[in-house]
Every structure is written in structure tokens, then in C-alpha cells.
């Protein structure tokens, strides 16, 4: 399990944090990062333990875990807790984010264009990493784009402080202690400095948003300077992402999956219940253009699962082992689908063809900024235009939806955008 930083909108403003995202009523362990206005508010969490005593008690565990006594003392002597991370850990979203809203913000034209620029800019290193690890350039860049928006959003929490606090408070102390000690081992080895170790509230950091233990296990030095640096070296970060996918079982030359048409009596299997691709073919499942699912490197015995992430009336996908390799990055199907679809777009393939089961589709980040601008023009105090739909934007949308006689969902969908856009043009 890991925590990473994604850029999507949530109701409660949080900064570089992770939260449980509810997709169609199912909590996904997908993480989110929303930049906000209320990050300076002091934490209201009341600790149940004495932090300094806890840190002192952990010293022997750290030493047993390979942290030297001098390293532990050096990095804990001035360590103070930040209880706001416990609030992030305990955060429960009240607003359900539909999958189409989630994907429309993560896989939008802006991210495709920026990804294509990155492919051009880093073509040599991407080609080398792709050749060495057997993972397509576009998949590597798609992970980068979804994890940290190509290194633009990687988190601001000092890792030792966040992980030290999570080691002494809250419900996953044992897990976070392992990450706290791993952070110290990274410092002890000299790969990174304490200043560089800033990340999400849960400790994911750098271009790849690896947790410290994942970093130790899978980071590689690809620029040859002798250090594994996923904070400042794009080369190291891209190769480490490719290494992650390879170690996660990526099969070179195979697809992650593709969108399909399936007869209405064919039920989705779920990701983990793969059956022979030939069986899906015999049940009448085809590619979107009607052609056979078995083509290229795929055979009738290739294990495949049928996903219908928005139910029987939404888009359906056949997915293979490589989808699981992407899934391993963040343990959420919505997240894996975002990376898979972004990688397709970066390869010049179309996005999803079937419609989502909604009459009010989601908006891109550019459209969300446009909507926020329209809300500001109507006098709503929603803070900055940042494309992140937080509490204030959502409340303003509800007010406008009420005025227009729409259902008051607070969603930044196409319906409210089009209505406010049309009104603005009439002015």
C-alpha cells in the first residue's frame, strides 16, 4: 500500500494530502491533493501520547531497523509533531466523487499536451529507460503526470515530522514507523538531504511519489551520479517508475487493456477474476470498432478481466496483467484507469468512447478554472481560480444551481458551466 499525491478536487480543502476517495459508493484508496486556503489553520487534534517520550521509546526499534544511533539522535533531537497529519489520516470525505469527474480532471487535454512535451523533452532518457525495463515511454510519463503532475506537485510536508507524528499517533502507527525508519536510512545513506525530503502528509515524495520503503526497494540511479534521487533527478525518477512497473509484473509488448463492447448479458468479472480471453470472445465481447479482441500478442488463453467501473450502462474494459502492474502503484482501480487512459492518449489513441451513465459529464481542469472565473464574476467568494473544486466553489455552485432550478449537487459539471457561460455571453 502506498500513498501518493493526485490532483483532484475534494470538498474539504486539504493540502498535498491523501484521502479516501469514494468512487460510486466504494471507497478507493486513491489519494488526492488539493491546494488550499486553509492550510495555515492550526490543528485542532488533541494528541493522546507524549511525542518526545514516544520518539525516545522508538530509538531502540530504529536501531534494530538499521538506523544508527547517531543518525536517529541527529534527526530527532529537534523534531516536533505536526498533528494536522492525523486529521488528514482520519479525514472522511462527505462528497462522493464520481469516476467520470475524477477521470475528467486527471486525463484532460492539458495533461496530454504537457505529457507530450515531456516525452519530447526527455526523449533520450525515456527511450533508454523503456529499453532497459520494457515499459512503454507513454506509460512511464502517464504515471509521472498522474502522480505529481510531472513533478509540479510533490508535497510540502517535511517527511520526518509527518512520519514521526504518524508513528506516535493515529491508527496506523506500526506502518508509519517502518516508513519513518526508512526515511532515516535514506538520509543515512546520503541519497537525499533532509531539506529534499518533503512530501505528502503520509510521506510519499518526489516525482514518483514513492513512500520511503518503496524508494529503498525500487529507486534506481539512472543518471550515473551515484545517488538515487527521485526529488531532483528526472532521469532517476523516470527509470525508477519503469522499474516499479517492471517489478510489478509488467509484460513487455502487451497492452494494459482496452475499451470493449459487451452484450448486456455479459457480467463484469472484477479485476482479480481473470479468465481466458477466448472465453470473453466467445461471449460476444469485441473491441469498440467491432473487431476481435484477440489480436497481436494476445491469444485465446491470455488472462483477462472485464471491468465495468460505472456499472452495466457505462464504459467497459478488458484488462490484462499490465493493468495489475499499474494498479500496484496505488491500489485503486480508478487510479490505474487514469494512468492507463492517459498513456493511451499520449500514444495518440482516443479516450473513452462509450458515454458515462450521466447527463451531466465532468469537466477538465481548464473548464473548472473557467467555471471558477464565472463564479467570481457572479460575486461568489471562492478564493483563487486554481481548477480545484473545494468547499467554497462547491457551495457557490449549489447557490447557482438553486437559482437556475437545477439539482443542487455542488458538482462542477458541464451543466452548470454551460449555463453560466451562456448567461455571461448574454451580458
| DSSP-assigned letter for residue 407 | -
DSSP strands (E only) in 213-369: 257-261, 275-276, 286-287, 303-307, 316-319
Nine-digit cell at 35? 491546494
CB of 226 to Ca ion, least distance (A): 7
CB of 129 to Ca ion, least distance (A): 13
* Minimum CB–partner distance for residue 301 and Ca ion (Å): 41
First to last CA, the chain: 51
How many residues of this chain interact with Ca ion, rule: CB under 5 A? 7
Return the number of the residue (227 or 380) whose C-beta is nearest Ca ion: 227
Q: With respect to Ca ion, which residue has the nearer C-beta, 212 or 383?
A: 212
Cell of 391: 468547499
Q: Which stretch binds Ca ion (CB under 5 A): 144-152, 181-189, 215-223, 301-309?
A: 215-223
For the bound state, the minimum distance from the C-beta of residue 232 to Ca ion, rounded and expressed in Å, comes to 9
Site residues for Ca ion, 218-247, by CB under 5 A, read 221, 223, 225, 227, 229, 233, 236
- For residues 73 and 225, which CB has a smaller minimum distance to Ca ion in the complex? 225
List residues bridging with 117 in a β-sheet: none
Say which residues have a Cβ less than 8 Å from residue 145's Cβ, sequence separation at least 6. Answer: 111, 114, 115, 118, 342
Nearer Cβ to Ca ion (190/405): 190
**Helix 414-426 to helix 365-377 angle, to the nearest 10 degrees?**
50
**Residue 23 or 238 with smaller CB distance to Ca ion:** 238
Radius of gyration of the chain (CA): 23
Residue 221 or residue 395: which is nearer to Ca ion going by CB?
221
Cβ atoms of 27 and 44 within 8 Å: the answer is no
| Shortest Å distance, C-beta 229 to Ca ion | 5
What's the CA gap between 166 and 382, in Å, rounded?
A: 32
Segment interacting with Ca ion (CB under 5 A) among 26-34, 199-207, 214-222, 375-383: 214-222
User: Least CB distance from residue 207 to Ca ion, whole Å?
Assistant: 12
- x/- site string to Ca ion, residues 365 to 394, per CB under 5 A? ------------------------------
Distance separating alpha carbons of residues 336 and 207, to the nearest angstrom: 17
Contact 349, 144 (CB under 8 A): no
Binding site for Ca ion (CB under 5 A): 221, 223, 225, 227, 229, 233, 236
Amino acid at each position: 500500500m502506498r500513498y501518493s499525491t493526485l490532483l483532484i478536487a475534494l470538498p474539504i480543502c486539504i493540502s498535498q494530502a491523501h484521502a479516501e476517495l469514494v468512487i460510486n459508493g466504494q471507497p478507493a484508496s486513491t489519494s488526492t491533493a488539493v491546494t488550499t486556503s486553509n492550510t495555515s489553520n492550526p490543528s485542532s487534534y488533541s494528541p493522546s501520547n507524549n511525542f518526545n517520550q514516544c520518539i525516545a521509546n522508538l530509538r531502540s526499534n530504529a536501531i534494530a531497523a538499521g538506523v544508527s544511533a547517531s543518525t536517529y539522535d541527529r534527526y530527532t533531537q529537534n523534531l516536533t509533531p505536526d498533528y494536522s497529519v492525523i486529521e488528514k489520516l482520519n479525514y472522511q470525505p462527505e462528497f462522493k466523487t464520481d469516476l467520470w469527474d475524477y477521470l475528467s480532471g486527471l486525463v484532460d487535454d492539458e495533461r496530454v499536451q504537457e505529457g507530450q512535451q515531456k516525452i519530447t523533452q526527455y526523449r533520450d532518457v525515456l527511450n533508454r529507460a523503456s529499453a532497459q525495463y520494457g515499459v512503454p515511454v507513454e506509460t512511464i510519463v502517464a504515471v509521472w503526470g498522474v502522480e505529481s503532475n510531472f513533478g509540479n506537485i510533490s508535497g510540502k510536508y517535511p517527511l520526518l515530522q509527518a512520519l514521526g507524528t504518524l508513528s506516535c499517533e493515529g491508527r496506523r502507527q506500526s506502518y508509519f514507523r517502518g516508513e519513518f525508519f526508512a526515511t532515516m536510512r535514506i538520509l543515512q545513506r546520503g541519497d537525499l538531504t533532509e531539506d529534499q525530503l518533503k512530501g505528502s502528509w503520509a510521506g510519499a515524495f518526489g516525482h514518483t511519489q514513492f513512500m520511503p520503503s518503496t524508494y529503498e526497494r525500487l529507486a534506481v540511479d539512472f543518471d550515473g551520479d551515484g545517488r538515487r534521487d527521485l526529488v531532483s533527478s528526472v532521469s532517476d525518477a523516470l527509470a525508477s517508475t519503469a522499474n516499479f512497473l517492471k517489478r510489478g509484473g509488467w509484460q513487455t509488448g502487451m497492452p494494459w487493456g482496452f475499451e470493449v463492447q459487451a452484450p448486456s448479458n455479459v457480467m463484469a468479472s472484477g479485476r482479480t477474476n481473470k479468465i481466458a480471453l477466448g472465453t470473453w470472445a466467445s461471449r460476444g465481447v469485441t473491441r469498440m470498432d467491432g473487431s476481435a479482441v484477440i489480436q497481436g500478442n494476445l491469444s485465446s488463453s491470455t488472462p483477462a478481466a472485464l471491468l465495468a467501473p460505472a456499472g452495466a450502462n457505462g464504459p467497459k474494459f478488458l484488462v490484462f496483467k499490465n493493468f495489475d502492474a499499474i494498479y500496484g502503484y496505488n491500489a485503486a482501480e480508478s487510479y490505474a484507469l487514469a494512468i492507463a487512459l492517459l498513456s493511451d492518449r499520449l500514444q495518440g489513441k482516443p479516450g473513452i468512447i462509450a458515454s458515462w451513465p450521466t447527463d451531466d459529464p465532468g469537466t477538465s481542469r481548464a473548464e473548472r478554472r473557467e467555471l471558477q472565473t464565472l463564479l467570481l464574476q457572479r460575486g461568489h467568494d471562492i478564493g483563487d481560480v486554481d481548477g480545484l473544486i473545494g468547499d467554497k466553489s462547491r457551495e457557490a455552485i449549489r447557490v447557482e444551481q438553486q437559482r437556475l432550478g437545477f439539482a443542487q449537487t455542488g458538482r462542477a459539471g458541464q451543466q452548470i458551466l454551460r449555463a453560466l457561460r451562456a448567461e455571461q455571453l448574454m451580458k
